[in-house]
Chain A
Amino acid sequence: MLDNFNHLVLPNINLLLRGLSVTAYVCFFAFLLAIALGSVACLVRLYVPFIRVVAIGYIEFCRATPIFVQLLWVNYVWPELFGFPKTVVGAGIIALALQSSGYLAETFRSGIEGLSKGQRDAGLAVGMTNLQIMRRIVMPQVVLVMAPSIVNQMTVVIKSSTLVSVIAIPDLMYEALKLVNTWFEPIEILTSTALMYIVAIFLISILAKRVSDHFRSKFGLAGLV
């Protein structure tokens, strides 16, 4: 088995690492987009009358549609319907972002609603505008308090990203399956691939937990959630 590992995995490690970098690229931009979309959806849902319904519909649709279905839907239907995305990578990023933005919007909302009214009042009392209060007082606390959920969502994005290989984005999973189909030796290649994902996800959770613990104890927020 070790022999096979030397013959199969090591010579192709560059291929796998290139796949991993595509995974990282897709996940990174998907998560950024998800945060942007999620914040907008959350703010609209909370503060904009009338279009609130649209935001609720958007959030519910994103959360309720399985990622695999969304991925195929964005990839096959959107280009015809909206004229974009033009590339599969674009489709992958959008689908992953849609999915996560729904969850993030709800996470942000529960964070904002959990914040005491006194925090807002204190901002108003010193003459800050609503926008300033949101940006300077509410958001930082929400991000801090919700950090664990946000990180959790980051790992969900990575896990979901394994599916983008299906629409021929050359990510880690894609390269691994290609190797398996060339050599017909699944054990070493797929096990190594699985381990790469596990380690990546594990490292991110640990790192993020460290960082958020640090900030939470620094601001005395430990034990808030």
Chain B
Amino acid sequence: MLGSLRESLDLTLFWEYRAILLRGLLENVYIFLGGAMLAMILAFAIGVARLSRRWTVRVLSTGYAELFRNTPEYVLLIWVYYVLPVIFSRLLATRFNFSPYAAAILALGASYSGFMSETVRAGILSVPREHTEAAMSLGMSKWMIMRRIIAPQAIRRMLPEALNQFVSLFKATTFVSLIAVEDLMYKVSMITVHEMRPLPLYTGAALVYCAIIVAAAQLIQHLSDRWRRRGWA
């Protein structure tokens, strides 16, 4: 057992393949950035729509958020990759395919927009109604109040939570290898097939992700504390 422990902690094999693995990790980062961008845009739209005065808009946007919040990310990923192109092909009557990258960004973006729309909604609601009234009494328009009074406060208040969502999103990028995106885990399994030594490779991957995410979490904690001290968050 000690021998195998030493072998599993002996990460030289992992280190030998660093260039390939790093390229894989970059794929994770690209998909993360694309997914995060999409999620943010959708989340803002949906979060605001959920506070609409029109009940149809409210019901539809709430349904959207609930649907994507309750769908497992992996199921959504597979669905977007295999089913959506077939539907599009039939609708457009041509062959239509997603690249694995597009499917991954679309699926993860949609999935996390559901969670984040809730954060956006809560952020907007956390701004007291009286702040809006004070602005109205000075003659500010609705749009101006949203932009200058509500959004700055709401965004600060939802930042810590949103950053945590981004961390989850980054974690979710690890299984895009399952639709053949050549990310870090994809490279790891390829190299494993080649080298027949899963221990250092999978342990190395686990440690790399763990380190990245612990660092990110520490940073978020530090930032949130600072914002809270300034009376923002």
Is any CB of A less than 8 Å from a CB of B in the complex?
Answer: yes
How far is B209's CA from A86's CA once the two chains are assembled, in angstroms? 26
How far is B198's CA from A159's CA once the two chains are assembled, in angstroms? 26
Task: Confirm or deny: A12 has a beta carbon within 8 angstroms of a beta carbon on chain B.
Answer: no
Taking a contact as CB atoms under 8 Å apart, the answer to whether A68 and B198 are in contact is: no
Counting from the closest, the 10 A-B pairs by CB-CB distance are: A66-B171, A159-B72, A76-B198, A64-B213, A186-B82, A68-B175, A66-B174, A162-B74, A162-B72, A68-B174
Known contacts A69-B174, A194-B79; A202 and B66 CB within 8 A of each other: yes
Q: In the complex, which of the residues B66, B189, B203, B206 has the most CB atoms of chain A within 10 Å of its own CB atom?
A: B206
Question: How many of chain A's residues touch chain B, expressed as a range?
Answer: 35 or more
List which B81-95 residues lie within 8 A (CB) of chain A: 82-83, 86-87
**A residues in contact with B74, CB < 8 Å:** 159, 162-163, 173
Interface 1/0 per residue, B178-218 and A, CB below 8 Å: 10000001000100100000110011011001100110010
**Would you mind naming 26 contact pairs between A and B with Cβ atoms under 8 Å apart?**
A64-B209, A67-B171, A69-B185, A69-B209, A70-B206, A72-B205, A73-B205, A76-B199, A76-B202, A80-B8, A81-B4, A81-B8, A158-B72, A159-B72, A159-B74, A162-B72, A173-B74, A187-B86, A187-B87, A190-B79, A191-B79, A193-B75, A197-B71, A197-B72, A197-B75, A205-B70
Task: Confirm or deny: A83 has a beta carbon within 8 angstroms of a beta carbon on chain B.
Answer: yes
Known contacts A66-B209, A69-B209, A76-B202; A166 and B75 CB within 8 A of each other: no
How far is B63's CA from A198's CA once the two chains are assembled, in angstroms? 12
Task: Confirm or deny: A208 has a beta carbon within 8 angstroms of a beta carbon on chain B.
Answer: no
Instruction: Tell me how far the C-beta of B114 lies from the nearest C-beta in chain A, rounded to whole angstroms.
Output: 11
Task: Confirm or deny: A60 has a beta carbon within 8 angstroms of a beta carbon on chain B.
Answer: yes
**A residues in contact with B19, CB < 8 Å:** none
How far is B210's CA from A76's CA once the two chains are assembled, in angstroms? 18
Taking a contact as CB atoms under 8 Å apart, the answer to whether A73 and B202 are in contact is: yes
Taking a contact as CB atoms under 8 Å apart, the answer to whether B185 and A190 are in contact is: no
Taking a contact as CB atoms under 8 Å apart, the answer to whether B8 and A194 are in contact is: no
**A residues in contact with B214, CB < 8 Å:** 60, 64
Question: How many of chain B's residues touch chain A, expressed as a range?
Answer: 35 or more
The chain B residue with its CB closest to the CB of A196 is B75
Task: Confirm or deny: A82 has a beta carbon within 8 angstroms of a beta carbon on chain B.
Answer: yes
Interface 1/0 per residue, A173-198 and B, CB below 8 Å: 10001001000001100110110011
How far is B78's CA from A158's CA once the two chains are assembled, in angstroms? 16
**B residues in contact with A66, CB < 8 Å:** 171-172, 174-175, 209, 213
**A residues in contact with B71, CB < 8 Å:** 194, 197-198
Interface 1/0 per residue, B53-82 and A, CB below 8 Å: 000000000000011001111111011001
Taking a contact as CB atoms under 8 Å apart, the answer to whether A65 and B210 are in contact is: yes
Taking a contact as CB atoms under 8 Å apart, the answer to whether B178 and A166 are in contact is: yes
Interface 1/0 per residue, B216-229 and A, CB below 8 Å: 01000000000000
Taking a contact as CB atoms under 8 Å apart, the answer to whether A77 and B72 are in contact is: no
**B residues in contact with A63, CB < 8 Å:** 217
Interface of chain A, main secondary structure: helix
How far is B171's CA from A68's CA once the two chains are assembled, in angstroms? 8
Instruction: Tell me how far the C-beta of A170 lies from the nearest C-beta in chain B, rounded to whole angstroms.
Output: 16
Footprint of B on A, CB under 8 Å? 60-61, 63-70, 72-73, 76-77, 80-83, 155, 158-160, 162-163, 166, 173, 177, 180, 186-187, 190-191, 193-194, 197-198, 201-202, 205
Instruction: Tell me how far the C-beta of A111 lies from the nearest C-beta in chain B, rounded to whole angstroms.
Output: 19
**B residues in contact with A205, CB < 8 Å:** 70
**B residues in contact with A76, CB < 8 Å:** 192, 198-199, 202
The chain A residue with its CB closest to the CB of B86 is A187
Known contacts A68-B174, A82-B1, A163-B74; A190 and B82 CB within 8 A of each other: yes
Taking a contact as CB atoms under 8 Å apart, the answer to whether B205 and A180 are in contact is: no
Taking a contact as CB atoms under 8 Å apart, the answer to whether B83 and A80 are in contact is: no
How far is B145's CA from A55's CA once the two chains are assembled, in angstroms? 48
Taking a contact as CB atoms under 8 Å apart, the answer to whether A77 and B83 are in contact is: no
How far is B178's CA from A82's CA once the two chains are assembled, in angstroms? 27
The chain A residue with its CB closest to the CB of B8 is A81
**B residues in contact with A162, CB < 8 Å:** 72, 74-75
Known contacts A65-B206, A66-B174; A77 and B76 CB within 8 A of each other: no
Taking a contact as CB atoms under 8 Å apart, the answer to whether A187 and B83 are in contact is: yes
Taking a contact as CB atoms under 8 Å apart, the answer to whether A77 and B203 are in contact is: yes
